Amino acid sequence: MTLFEQTWDDFKSGITVIIESNENAAHAYLYVNRELMSMVWLYNTSEAPDIPDWITGINYGSPCRNSSEYISPQLIIPEEPPYDLLIIANLHTSDNHQIEIGIIAPDGKSIKLLAILRDDQKCGWCNNAQKDSPVAKSLEATLVSGVNPSDYWKHESDVGKEHSDYRVLEMTKWDKT
């Protein structure tokens, strides 16, 4: 059963990002020219198992849950998924495609980094991962592209504008009240 599936396309660069959630977990997938390049676990939508799904085979599939030993105690989950999620294509290098997934903060004026997908890494990084697992690498352990995962990394004045270092692929909700 799918709770939601959201697709963002940037046809000019060939990038497609799919975020899907079922009764177990939410994952994000990066496709470049229709080829799956990277995936990452974002958060569980049901209780975290003590033993990972990829070991027990229970609820194994895509997306599967991360177990409690891999989940950060500072879990960030969108209040209204997928509407509070924002996809940003990072344009720092021409050699690799990097996608950053953020959650619009409750104040509505900033965005918290949730995950990073790169086309040269089969498994992406997630701010909700406490340590590396087969479904997500920890952002805490590995700072990627100079991002400090404890800080809000984009602000209201940045969102929706074209910048030399990033481009918003699509926003489904941004309430500036």
The neighbour count for residue 157, using CB atoms within 10 Å, is: 9
Q: Using CA atoms, how far apart are residues 32 and 105, in angstroms rounded to an integer?
A: 29
User: Residue written as tokens 């599967």?
Assistant: 64
Say what the pTM is: 0.80
88-114: per-residue pLDDT in tens? 776 555 567 888 888 877 777 777 889
Strand segments, DSSP code E, in 35-175 are: 35-44, 85-90, 98-104, 110-118, 125-126, 137-138, 152-155, 166-171
Tokens coding 101: 């997934």
User: Residue written as tokens 């990066």?
Assistant: 30
128-140: per-residue pLDDT in tens? 999 999 899 998 7
- Residue 136's alpha-carbon distances to 54, 79, 94, 101, 129, in angstroms, are 12, 21, 24, 14, 6
Tokens coding 105: 């903060």
User: Residue written as tokens 């895509």?
Assistant: 62
The pLDDT value recorded for residue 152 is 41
pLDDT band per the 50, 70, 90 thresholds, residue 26: very high
Rg (CA), the chain: 15
